[in-house]
Amino acid sequence: MHPDTSSADIRRRFVEHFEAAGHTAVPSAPLLVDDPNLLFVNAGMVPFKPFFLGQETPPYQRAVSVQKCVRTPDIEDVGKTTRHGTFFEMCGNFSFGDYFKAGAIELAWDLITKPVADGGFGLEESRLYPSVYEDDPEAVELWKKITGVPDDRIARLGKSENYWSMGVPGPGGPCSEILYDRGPAYGADGDFGAEDRYLEIWNLVFMQDELSAVRSKVDFDIAGALPKQNIDTGMGLERVAFLLQGKDNMYEIDTMFPVIERAQELSGRRYGADPVDDVRFRVVADHVRSSMMLIGDGVTPGNESRGYVLRRLLRRAVRSMRLLGYEDRALPELFPVSRDRMAPGYPALTADWDRIAQVAFAEEDAFRSTLRAGTQIFDNAAVETKAAGATVLAGEQAFALHDTYGFPIDLTLEMAAENGLTVDEEGFRALMAEQRNRAKADAKSKKGQHADTSVYRGILDANGPTEWLAYETLTTESRPLALLAGGAPVPALGQGEIGELVLDRTPFYAESGGQVADAGRIVFDGGVLEVLDVQRPVRGLVVHQVRVLEGEFVSGGTLQAEVDPDWRTGARQAHSGTHVVHAALREVLGPTALQSGSYNRPGYLRLDFGWTTGLTDAQYRDLETVSNNALRADLAVGWEYMTLDQARDWGAIALFGETYDDTKVRVVEIGGRWSRELCGGTHVDHSSQIGTIVLTSESSVGSGNRRIEALTGYEGFAYLARERDVVAQLTGLLKTQPDDLVGRVGDLVERLRAVEKELEKGRLQQLLAGAGALASAAEDIGGVGFVGQVVEGAGGGDVRTLALDVRGRLPGDRPGAVLVIGVQDGKPSLVTAVNEAGIAAGVSANTLLRAAASLLGGKGGGKDDVAQGGGSDASRVTDALEAARAELARR
């Protein structure tokens, strides 16, 4: 591969081309995005969406970026085509009211066709086909004028291909794609639907329309023209890379194929030898890279939302390696290869490698355990299917294995074939479709949740940003700029009414960075407003939600804004306490224990961090000790403003998923290098002012994520005082000293357990004492001695013991069957047992169990001699016994 065609060089050439044309280079935003419509950044324009929606004023007129993106709707098609991948890099140039169609076309065409020696990509013009929206004659003329491309080389396409919108009311417009003709081997001449032949490498969106009543991608109303015409483009780096590198698809480029090469070495199979294996190799290459990038940006595996996507990617990669014949731990072999290829563009992968590896490798270990557990579930399902005389595993069983146990469907198909069974794939797909439809309906219900910020935007444009003084003072004399109720301006608020107030200056902290907003009041001539909440709906504007406590508030005059000093003190203690606990956590567990989220209010803090196991008692104690030693040391707390790059060089920690201003960030440090974090919150001046840090819990909040909760300041002391009172009460009741309390309680617990065991032993003996009477009273049903009994208060273990004991007392030379149903805490449990003579006569414990369990809302399984199950409806136990009798009678 020529060095001028590497992915790193393509990325560099793209940025340099547009920087030379006056564009500001903007670093890639994290993959996590705060958007109700998106799990991840899925296009290069997403970080600029507030500018396109008019929610914020862009600080530049032209921008260029190479944005990390993840798309997962087509995950099942990954590896099957040259186009579908989950992680990709989108190179984009953007104009905010500056150049428009002509400028975008000229800049794109110049870069693509310019010789490599001159900084371009050097693609042959004869292979390039522009496409336009069929109702955009202006674009046609511009393409011909600027590029010299003849009319018959310009494809006219409809709305579904060449009209862009976000799927919600807002900006939209026609677009032009640049298609690369890969030749007749990939499809028919002029068939622009043949995407493998006419490969889209760049899309130029001409944002010119204001859309309303958006019903679908191709069904919407155009309310009018946008006030400013904008440009949003996206060039797929991977697609350009495989063209320039002479490869057949994106999986064979320099940042991905080395993973396939390593997978070949591990599996002993060869890429290109088998089309089925080729798909698996590509899945591995794609999913390893995508997973690594997601973990790098703070995602941890879980069962919902982003965590579920990551878990699925990791498990599909591991599963694909298994299908290639490699059953050892695969990710420790593959992840480093992907890291080494991606790190030149994303050096944080190397810096944060220990944490990334820990998360990924732990998930593979968990999945390997899941495979073992799922195999047992499958084996039971297969036995049950065969016992019923069927050869098809039910679709609902395959779906349960997939949905509940994370068992891949292809593994279920493979194991079913090994057992001489097939799978009801149609039923499985139907259930999967239902699940997807529910997810789509939920996502659709969230569409349109971009808040209408135009009223706030207007206030900001008219008055400028709020003078925000939360770091300097607790009180300000302020002037009201706007009063809103229900999202619209109002002249006044009556007593008890709630509205939104914008001031020219404010001392109130607006909720952000995990810290809740300040509480307090605003005093006006003739009354008082209670401040309920403080937010920043658009950047630079602080909005107070207020309730009128006294008087009638008419906007105007001079106001006194007053933060509750006790509230602010508690908030400062909690936020600084969060930083202390985070630093202590890394000291106790190591540098890979990084915060993934936080929340703090006066006296309370909550810190989430990526970790795969719970803290030991010793680690828990050490964490609290290290935290309080930091308070005792009275460490200085300070903050500085610097660029994001300087903050990183300084060792400051950024919160995953947060977006930071690259020109200026605030770094808060406690004890110098001991704790340095990017943070906009309010803090104490010395660590001793936190008072105390009392850990109250450590728990799991999903696979690979833990949560620490703690109290600070007065609330921490109050908590300890309550515990002291409890200890005093217990020592009084037990007539012992505090130092002996644990031993005394331990002795009482052991004595209680011993008594409970004796009671249990006596209860079981009493239960079994009736086994002989039950056996002797067996009823004859079709020549089979049958015992059916309901036992109140018996659990599963007792039921099994009684059923086996009764079966042992039945005459051995006569067919016999036993069904015992226990009911404990309203839940039935069942055991059927059949003797050898009964089995010889064709009686099956499994068959009897299914007949009874189906009436109790449950199921179960086992063998012909013993089967066990449970249910959810204990009201029909009599009917269940009758169903077993009927099954015997039909034999």
- 371-414, pLDDT tens digit by residue? 777 777 888 888 888 888 888 998 888 888 887 766 777 778 87
- How many C-alpha atoms does 468 have within 13 Å on its Cβ side? 22
Stretch 668-679: mean pLDDT, rounded?
Answer: 94
Would you call 248 helix, strand, or coil by DSSP?
A: coil
Quote the pLDDT of residue 659: 63
CATH number of 770-890: 3.10.310.40
Q: What's domain 568-721's superfamily in CATH? A: Threonyl-trna Synthetase; Chain A, domain 2 (3.30.980.10)
Q: What is the percentage of the chain residues whose pLDDT exceeds 70?
A: 95
Share of the chain above pLDDT 90, in %: 59
Neighbours of 379 (CB within 10 A): 13
Comparing 86-95, 120-129, 378-387, 419-428, which segment has the lowest mean pLDDT? Answer: 378-387
Give the per-residue pLDDT at 250.
Answer: 92
Please enumerate, by residue number, every residue annotated as part of a binding site: 575, 579, 679, 683
Least confident of 402-411, 560-569, 635-644: 402-411
pLDDT at 443 over 60: no
Give the mean pLDDT of 580-601: 92
Interacting residues of 447 by C-beta distance below 8 A, sequence separation 6+? 37, 167, 168
Which residues, listed in sequence order, are joined to residue 163 by a DSSP beta bridge? 174
Note the pLDDT of residue 774.
Answer: 87
Task: Please state which architecture CATH assigns to domain 454-563.
Answer: Beta Barrel (2.40)
Residues annotated in a binding site for Zn(2+): 575, 579, 679, 683
In Å, what is the CA distance from 529 to each residue of 194, 493, 560?
65, 10, 10
Q: What is the mean pLDDT of residues 598-615?
A: 92
The larger pLDDT score, comparing residue 38 to residue 775, is at 775
Residue-wise pLDDT for 787-845, tens only, equals 999 888 777 788 888 899 899 999 988 999 999 998 888 889 999 999 999 999 999 99
> Per residue in 204-221, pLDDT tens?
999 999 998 888 888 899
Alpha helices, DSSP H, located in 88-162 = 101-113, 137-147, 159-162
Residue 104 has pLDDT above 60, yes or no: yes
**In the predicted model, what is the mean pLDDT of residues 602-611?**
93
- For residue 763, CA distances in Å to 771, 798, 820 come to 13, 10, 17
C-alpha distance from residue 561 to each of 41, 468, 492, 496, 510 (Å): 39, 12, 18, 19, 14
**Contact 573/602 with Cβ under 8 angstroms?**
yes
Say whether pLDDT at 58 is over 60. yes
Q: Are 421 and 382 in contact (CB under 8 A)?
A: yes
Strand order of the β-sheet with 488-489 is 475-478, 559-563, 520-524, 527-535, 543-550, 498-503, 480-485, 488-489
| Burial classification of residue 773, based on how many CB atoms lie within 10 Å of its CB (0-12 exposed, 13-18 middle, 19 or more buried) | exposed
According to the 3-state scheme, what is the secondary structure of 166-201? CCCCEEEEEEEEEEEECCHHHCCCCCCCCCCCEEEE
Checking if the pLDDT of 4 tops 90, the result is no
Distances (CA, A) of 699 to 418, 608, 660, 696: 41, 9, 29, 10
pLDDT tens string 734-776:
888 988 888 999 999 999 988 877 876 776 677 777 788 888 8
The edge-to-edge listing of strands for the beta sheet with 595-601 is: 595-601, 604-610, 705-712, 693-700
Q: How many CA atoms lie within 13 A of 300 on its CB side?
A: 22
Mean pLDDT across the chain, nearest whole number? 89
> Which of 229-233, 318-322, 371-375 has the least mean pLDDT?
371-375
Decide if 408 contacts 316 (C-beta within 8 A): yes
Question: For 3-246, which CATH class?
Answer: alpha beta
Convert the pLDDT of each residue in 243-292 to its tens digit: 999 998 899 999 999 999 999 999 999 999 999 999 999 999 999 999 99
The CA distance from 86 to 69, in Å, is: 8
- pTM equals 0.71
**In contact, 379 and 421? CB cutoff 8 Å:** no
Backbone angles phi, psi at 604, to 5 degrees: -140, 140
CB 31 within 8 A of CB 297: yes
The length of the chain, given as a count of residues: 891
